Amino acid sequence: MLTIDVLSHRLSSYLEPPQIQRVRHAYYYAEQAHDGQKRRSGEPYITHPLEVAENLANMHMDHQSLMAAMLHDVIEDTAISKKAIAEQFGETVAELVDGVSKLTQFEFDTPAEKQAENFQKMALAMAQDIRVIIVKLADRLHNMRTLEALKPEKRRRIAKETLEIYAPISHRLGMNDLRIEFEDRGFYAMHPLRASRLKAALATARGNRKELVEKIQGAIEIRLERETINAIVIGREKHLYSIYQKMRLKKKSFKEIMDVYAFRIVVDEVDTCYRALGAIHNLYKPVITEFKDYIAIPKANGYQSLHTVLVGMHGVPIEVQIRTKEMDEMANNGIAAHFLYKSDSDEGSNNSTARARQWVQGLLEMQQAAGSSLEFIENVKIDLFPDEVYVFTPKGQIVELPNGATAVDFAYAVHTDVGNGCVACRINGHLAPLSQTLKSGQKIAVITAPGAQPNPNWLNFVSSGKARSAIRHFLKNQRHHESIELGQRMLSRKLADANIDFDSLTEEQLNTLREGANVTSVDKLLEDIGQGNRIAFAVAKLLSPPEGSGSGGANIYSPLMIDSAEEVMISFARCCRPIPGDPIIGHVSSGKGLVIHQDTCRNINELRSNPEKINLVNWAPTVVGEFLVDIRVEVGSERGIIASLATRITELGANIEQINVDERDAHNSVINLCIGVNNRIHLANVMRRVRGLSAVIRISRNRN
């Protein structure tokens, strides 16, 4: 059983005695704070912070992270404040504890908006101190190891969240060991039957492969020894979730995946990596297209290694990774390895930290550009995809992009202004379409033009979260300004009918508009009008004098008059197709303006309980225009009946917009028509004329 003494002994391998003493102090403080509290499993609560600290100790994290792990639930679950922790353990530890505490409600049982907002908190906390997310990941790891104590529904919810958010984050930060455990435990919790069957198949396959694996490993070791290369050769096994994902996404059979043999070679120096590569290329034939040098060009998360694929004995494919011990530590622990190899001379760890901070900075930029927390989390999930493409700027700098990225993604990765202004690109010196998918190693030059702006169609092919977020942000701002301009034109026109000039409105009149419409600014009111969320006529009535006051203005409570079918920001509901002469009612719908229904329409019933959404409307006495209406004609079998119907309808000046025939049997058919008429009298004349045909059995108007 893990105790503070056992943990202290482990910490003595890399921490100074005063630092270990401070970690012990944090433990005793947390033990007292959580006194009497139990976990779902029935164990004392203090076992959880202790295990979280143990997870961090395995990564060789610093003493402040370990203290924060001991105290991470104190603010959330006890009466102790952040200030009290700061007084006892210092401001840095208090900030870490506070950062982790803010993330505790990040669960799938909350509404999507709350979940997304909590993720935004995580981004902010990570920006202040990257250790916040490392402590949080260690906390989640222990929660995943103790899922059995929870109900199945909650187990699946936490597992889903882990697979969708925490496993990709740990991969993005280069913490491979953590990612593998998250994925395998999440897989077991989400799909226990699939996981257990796959595990059994894997155990059988490994038993059958054992002899060949040992032969290949022995051959590699002998060849390296002959070249006087001191190396450790390890047979590398694919983990359960990785096999499952490959089978599911790449539509491969279990046998196809297990036919590949993988090995890792760990050496002392970087130049030895390349010597080892030459040695094994002499042993087995390499597949030329499968060589990747992640030492010269590290991955976005700081990962470094040489990757090659060989054709071994009996034609079996062999995957080999070659790296140094430090690179191996970085591959397993990622950003956490920075705290183990943190000397100034260690470029790898500093690069890893810089890349992590760069990613977090990118999160903050996306957060500012996103219109909502849901849009932000959607962009982040795009950004967490593990596959990368590495391309070069004209000056030779490396830019890392997600798989499937285009020149537009590249332009936004360079700078948001470059993305907004790009009009064309050159790939390896040749002009290419902006939508062309980029490949690693290409040199990209973006051509910009003053006054250029993003095209909405770019959203159909961009891959990076940053590009998607920046394009949407620009288009929203553009739509915002256009809506204000349109709203001002519409309101000016309606005010002019009441002999009021919009540009000459006094501050008092503007206040009347703001208060009457219950908005904070005139711009917001104009935007609502431009987007169709308010009716310009109804807003103009706020400034029109009441009836009888001498100016002939409309009373604010009088119904809105519908003058034509083409009136700006008025639409007619398809469900009931109102036409002049029908009793009508209106409601405001975003983007559609005032939607007119028949007063008897069932679809308006729910809105009647909210008077604010309902508008009183009437047809103007002089209403003009063509209004669509649906009619249903039941006819007997007769040659040329559709032609006869069409002739009679058009003779009376009505237009046929749509016709649909439903054959009931050999003798009867139902013809549904959508026709354009002027009003109810016009419709009645058309129906009377059609009813006079001998083949017509019944004719009626369709409602809802």
Amino acid at 626: E
- In the block, tokens 């398809």 appear at 574
CA distance 435 to 394: 19
Q: What value does the mean pLDDT take over residues 443-465?
A: 87
The first and second tokens of residue 581, run together, are 């002469």
User: Is the model's pLDDT at 592 over the cut of 50?
Assistant: yes
What is the model's pLDDT at position 175? 82
What is the model's pLDDT at position 322? 94
What is the model's pLDDT at position 233? 92
The residues carrying an active-site annotation are: 76-77
User: Is the model's pLDDT at 347 over the cut of 60?
Assistant: no
Sequence-distant (≥ 6) Cβ neighbours of residue 704 within 8 angstroms: 575, 576, 601, 602, 603
CA distance 401 to 212: 38
User: Is the model's pLDDT at 19 over the cut of 70?
Assistant: yes
What pLDDT digit, counting tens, does each position of 677-699 carry?
999 999 999 999 999 998 999 99
Please, what is the average pLDDT of the chain? Answer: 82
User: Is the model's pLDDT at 24 over the cut of 90?
Assistant: yes
User: Is the model's pLDDT at 13 over the cut of 80?
Assistant: yes
What is the model's pLDDT at position 51? 93
Q: What value does the mean pLDDT take over residues 503-514?
A: 85
Q: Is the dihedral of CA 497, 499, 503, 507 positive or negative?
A: negative
Helix (H, G, I), strand (E, B) or coil at 363: helix
CA distance 53 to 42: 20
**Could you tell me the domains of the chain?**
4-193 (1.10.3210.10), 195-341 (3.30.460.10), 387-456 (3.10.20.30), 475-611 (no CATH), 627-701 (3.30.70.260)
User: What are phi and psi for residue 188, nearest 5 degrees?
Assistant: -60, -40
Find, among 612, 538, 617, the residue nearest to 573 by Cα.
617
DSSP letter (8 states) at residue 693: S
Find, among 403, 401, 406, 439, the residue nearest to 422 by Cα.
406
Asked whether 323 and 305 are in contact (CB, 8 A), the reply is: yes
Q: What value does the mean pLDDT take over residues 608-614?
A: 67
User: Which pTM was predicted?
Assistant: 0.57
What pLDDT digit, counting tens, does each position of 206-217 carry?
777 888 888 889
Q: What value does the mean pLDDT take over residues 457-469?
A: 85
Q: What value does the mean pLDDT take over residues 604-618?
A: 72
- In the block, tokens 């501050």 appear at 507
Q: What value does the mean pLDDT take over residues 197-223?
A: 86
- Between 660 and 377, residue with greater pLDDT: 660
Confidence of residue 341 (pLDDT cuts 50, 70, 90): very low
Total residues belonging to the chain? 704
What pLDDT digit, counting tens, does each position of 67-122 carry?
999 998 888 878 788 889 999 999 989 888 888 876 554 444 445 555 566 666 66
Confidence of residue 348 (pLDDT cuts 50, 70, 90): very low
What is the model's pLDDT at position 567? 54
Confidence of residue 377 (pLDDT cuts 50, 70, 90): low
Confidence of residue 509 (pLDDT cuts 50, 70, 90): confident
Q: What value does the mean pLDDT take over residues 454-472?
A: 85
User: Is the model's pLDDT at 551 over the cut of 50?
Assistant: no
CA distance 561 to 470: 42
User: Is the model's pLDDT at 550 over the cut of 50?
Assistant: no
Between the alpha carbon of residue 25 and those of residues 7, 138, 191, the distances in Å are 13, 20, 41
- Between 81 and 276, residue with greater pLDDT: 276
Confidence of residue 398 (pLDDT cuts 50, 70, 90): confident
Say which range, 71-75, 302-306, 423-427, 615-619, has the weakest mean pLDDT. 615-619
Confidence of residue 268 (pLDDT cuts 50, 70, 90): very high
Confidence of residue 607 (pLDDT cuts 50, 70, 90): confident
Q: Cα 402 from chain centroid?
A: 14
**Burial, 301: exposed, middle or buried (Cβ in 10 Å; 0-12, 13-18, 19+)?**
buried
What is the model's pLDDT at position 120? 65
